[in-house]
Amino acid sequence: MRKWISAILLGFVAAGFFIVLSDIPFGDNRMDVAKHYIENGITETGAVNIVTAVVVNYRALDTLGEVTVLFVASLGLGALLYAGKGSSGNKQRASLVVRTGSRILFPLILLFGAYIFVHGHLTPGGGFQGGAVIASAFLLQYLAYRHYSIDRLQFSMVESISGSAFVVVGLLGLAMGGYFLSNFLDKGVPYSLFSAGVIPVLYVAIGLKVGAELAGIVAGLMESGRG
């Protein structure tokens, strides 16, 4: 009964999709403000990755809000799971392959994550992706060692310092460039590592913050099952 009602409702949703999407032909050029970003992005921001230019320069205030959403989510998770001590944990020891492999891969994964967020303005990637890669290194440690545990205090310190660095860079932009999060540093030569003004600085801050937050989320979820 419930399945049939759901299927009928989904039929209406599908019809709605069909009606709306048949007016939006696939693959047409609908760019409006994006044209400005693509044509003037390099000269205005110095970043050759236009997506990064949009995320960290043109719409950096949105990104600050996004970082805040992630912070609130990890805060809520910490508040829910902090006192929680479950009964069932990882009873079985991980295999030798996983333990040895994680020991070898751990520094390499951290290095790769740092590479991704440092090169966010040149190649695909950025702070969020690099942070997720860094957090996956800690997840691997949790999977490999039953009694592994990260130091929560250090992680929240990294998180707070890098979050504050984002806002401080924004305020410096307000003081020197005239508006919040303006790109006040030298743009440099495009395609080189030290270019694009404040974008790499902001992306390093975002990368550390997201990495610490996601590692904290992983730690909260993994430790909630331990006795």
Partner 1 sequence: MEVLHNSMYYVGAAALILIGLYVILVKRNLIKVIIGIHLLDTGVNVLLISVGYIKGGKAPIFTGTSLGPAQFVDPIPQALVLTAIVIGVGVLALALSITVKVYQHHGTLDLRKIKGLKW
> Residue 25 or 178: which CB sits closer to partner 1?
25
CB of 161 to partner 1, least distance (A): 20
Closest to partner 1 by CB, 47 or 109: 47
Burial 29-55 (b: 16+ CB within 10 A, else e): eeeeeeeebeeebbeebbbbbbebbbb
Which spans of this chain sit near partner 1 (rule: CB under 8 A)?
2-3, 6-7, 9-10, 13-14, 17, 21, 24-31, 33-35, 37-39, 42, 48-51, 53-55, 59, 62-63, 66, 69-70, 72-74, 76-77, 80-81, 84, 86, 123-124, 126, 128, 132, 190-191, 210, 214, 217, 220-221, 224-225
How would you class 150 by CB atoms within 10 Å of its CB: exposed for 0-12, middle for 13-18, buried for 19 or more? middle
Token pair for residue 205?
Answer: 């801050």
Question: To the nearest whole angstrom, how small is the minimum distance from the Cβ of residue 36 to partner 1?
Answer: 10
Give min distance, CB of 25 to partner 1, in A: 8
Minimum distance, C-beta of residue 193 to partner 1, in the bound complex (Å) = 14
Q: Which is nearer to partner 1, 101 or 190 (CB)?
A: 190
The minimum distance between CB 100 and partner 1, in angstroms, equals 29
187 token code pair: 């743009």
Compute CA distances 170 → 63, 88, 198, whole Å.
12, 45, 9
Give 27 or 178: the residue with its C-beta nearer to partner 1: 27
Residue 17 vs 179, nearer CB to partner 1: 17
Cβ-based neighbours of 202, under 8 Å, separated by 6 or more:
56, 60, 63, 127, 166, 169, 181
* CA 75 to the chain's CA centroid: 16
Nearer to partner 1, 43 or 178 (CB): 43
| Element at 197 (helix H, strand E) | none
CB of 139 to partner 1, least distance (A): 12
Task: Tell which residue, 34, 74, 75, has the closest CA to residue 58.
Answer: 34
Q: Minimal CA–CA distance to 63: which of 184, 205, 197?
A: 205
